[in-house]
Amino acid sequence: MKARILVLRWLTVLAFLLVLEVLPRAGLVRPSTLEPVSVILVRLGEILFSGTIPSPYFARAGTPTLASHLSATLGSILVSYAGAVLIGTPAGVLLWRFPVLARILNPYLVVYYALPIFALYPLFILLFGIGFLPIVLLGFLFAVVVVIVNTALGLRRVDEEIYPKVGRSLGLRPVQMYLSIYLPGAAPFVFSGWKLAFVYSTISVIASEFLISVRGLGHVIDRSYRNFETANMYAAIILVIGGVMLANSVLTWIERRLYTRVE
């Protein structure tokens, strides 16, 4: 079974790559639409190795280096993500400590992710100008609520278990209750919130850059698309998707380990 699963998974990936290679080579798709995978990978290697994007557009714009875009994207993700974690986690604790507050806010939290928050982006640009601030603000708004909700849920789950009762029967002081019962008990759920916050802030930052910005990996994809630099565009797409998948796999691995600790 194990072997068949791996064979099926990698055969599918391979077949997918093969189709992407053959379609443009056979002339079924124009190279302005899709370059062969091998060409894209070589281009990605060039960009990574030389640190510059081979494009007259970015040379003229004064941002030819990969580092200038990578630092913009990572900076925006980091700031919006840190904000979401640092504000969302204490807010989740408050929501758990005050159940009436939680019940008041519950319907709003349930529908929060129903709203296409992204529609706010043009308004933010009007208010703050094109650049770092609107992107970070939107990333924060995308990520903060999942942290709040998961923190509150995780702590509430500990309350449903017997552990707080054990703690009280052993005469733990409030600080000890928090540190040695609630913290380890809620850790995996809180971490799930942090993981999703990373995913959401990344999605938001890349999408913002993609729509309106002057720097960042999303911006590179957008400009390459509009300037018909197909190989650059796909190289950037692979860089973004590969990077996020790698980060997500690492976070998922940590998350699984945390869950096995409480089950």
Partner 1 sequence: MSRNLSWKIRSGQIAVVCAFMVIWQFLASRTGPMFLPGPASALRTLLDGLQRGWMVSHLWTTLLEVLWGYAWAVGVGLFVGFSIGASPLLFGAFEGPLLNLYAVPKVTLFPLFLAAFKLGIPSKIAFGAFHGLFPVAIYTWTAMRTMNPVHLKVARSLRLGRLETFRSVVFPAVLPGIVVGLRLGFNLTLLGVVLGEMFASRAGMGFLLMSFGAAFDASRILAVILVLFMLALAANALLLAFERRVKGIPELHLRVS
Partner 2 sequence: MPIIEVRSLSKVYRPNTGAPPVEALRDVSFSVEAGEFVAIVGPSGCGKSTLLEIIAGLQSPTAGEVVVLGKPVQGPRTEVGIVFQEDSTFPWLSTLENVKFGLKARGVPPAVQETLAKEVIQLVGLQGFEHHYPRELSGGMRQRVAIARTLVLRPQILLMDEPFGALDAQTRIVLGNELLRIWQEIQATILFVTHDLLEALRLADRVILMTRRPGQIKRIVETAAPRPREQTPVASAKTAELANMLWEELRQEVV
74 binds partner 1 (CB under 8 A): no
57 binds partner 1 (CB under 8 A): no
User: 10 Å Cβ neighbour count for 171?
Assistant: 7
DSSP E strand boundaries for 31-133: none
CB of residue 105 to partner 2, shortest distance in Å: 19
Query: Using CB distances below 5 to 8 A depending on partner kind, what does residue 162 bind out of partner 2, partner 1, none?
Result: partner 2
Query: Using CB distances below 5 to 8 A depending on partner kind, what does residue 12 bind out of partner 2, partner 1, none?
Result: partner 1
- Residue 212: closest CA among 127, 116, 134: 134
Number of separate helices (H) and strands (E) present in the chain: 12, 0
241 binds partner 1 (CB under 8 A): yes
Q: Collapsing DSSP states into helix, strand and coil, what is residue 228? A: coil
CB of residue 176 to partner 2, shortest distance in Å: 5
Give the C-alpha separation, 76 to 204, whole Å: 10
Give the C-alpha separation, 130 to 110, whole Å: 31
112 binds partner 1 (CB under 8 A): yes
Largest CA distance in the chain: 76
Query: Using CB distances below 5 to 8 A depending on partner kind, what does residue 118 bind out of partner 1, partner 2, none?
Result: partner 1
Whether 261 and 188 have beta carbons less than 8 Å apart is answered as yes
Give the C-alpha separation, 204 to 231, whole Å: 24
118: its two tokens: 């992204």
Nearer to partner 2, 72 or 181 (CB): 181
**Radius of gyration for the alpha carbons in the chain, expressed in angstroms and rounded:** 23
139: its two tokens: 């990333």
Among 108, 169, 171, 175, binds partner 1 (CB under 8 A): 108
Please tell me the count of residues contacting partner 2 according to CB under 8 A: 20
125 binds partner 1 (CB under 8 A): yes
Give the C-alpha separation, 135 to 122, whole Å: 11
| CB hemisphere CA count around 33 (13 angstroms) | 9
CB of residue 170 to partner 2, shortest distance in Å: 4
Q: Collapsing DSSP states into helix, strand and coil, what is residue 236? A: helix
187 binds partner 1 (CB under 8 A): no
Specify the stretch interacting with partner 1 by CB under 8 A; choose among 35-43, 57-65, 104-112, 182-190.
104-112
CB of residue 111 to partner 1, shortest distance in Å: 5
List of residues contacting partner 1 (CB under 8 A): 1-2, 4-6, 8-9, 12-13, 29, 33-34, 100-101, 103-116, 118-123, 125-127, 145-146, 149-150, 152-153, 192, 196, 199, 202-203, 206-207, 210-212, 218, 221-222, 225, 233, 236-237, 240-241, 244-245, 248-249, 252
List of residues contacting partner 2 (CB under 8 A): 162-163, 165-166, 168-173, 176, 180-181, 184-185, 187, 260-263
